[in-house]
Amino acid sequence: MPPSADVTREIENSLDRLFSALDGKPTDGGPARILGIHHDSREWWIQIGRGDDVTNTIVLRVSRFANAMHAGAALTRWNSSGTNLPRIVRAMCLIEP
């Protein structure tokens, strides 16, 4: 059964809020640049690069119940990590695999 129009609108609004809160946010390198946001019905997966560097990326794994503040806090953990390795940072994940 396809999701209702209200649920779809709610998901779109959540994605817009996450994008607006994170895109352009200052990082240790260039500003955060959203490369993609994916939804798997439980969580948001947000791929972020620094400025024009698409090789130094992070994927935020964010509960769909989290807000932009939670995602921003997770992005700050990446800023202070001092690593250039791509990695996944969890933000308010309810169930760990």
Mean pLDDT calculated for residue range 1-18 = 72
C-alpha dist (Å) from residue 93 to 17, 31, 79, 82, 85: 18, 25, 20, 23, 21
Q: Are strands 32-39 and 43-50 parallel, antiparallel or unpaired?
A: antiparallel
Tokens describing residue 19 = 């994008």
In tens, the pLDDT along 31-87 reads 889 998 888 878 888 888 888 777 778 888 888 888 888 888 877 776 655 555 557
DSSP structural state of residue 34 = E
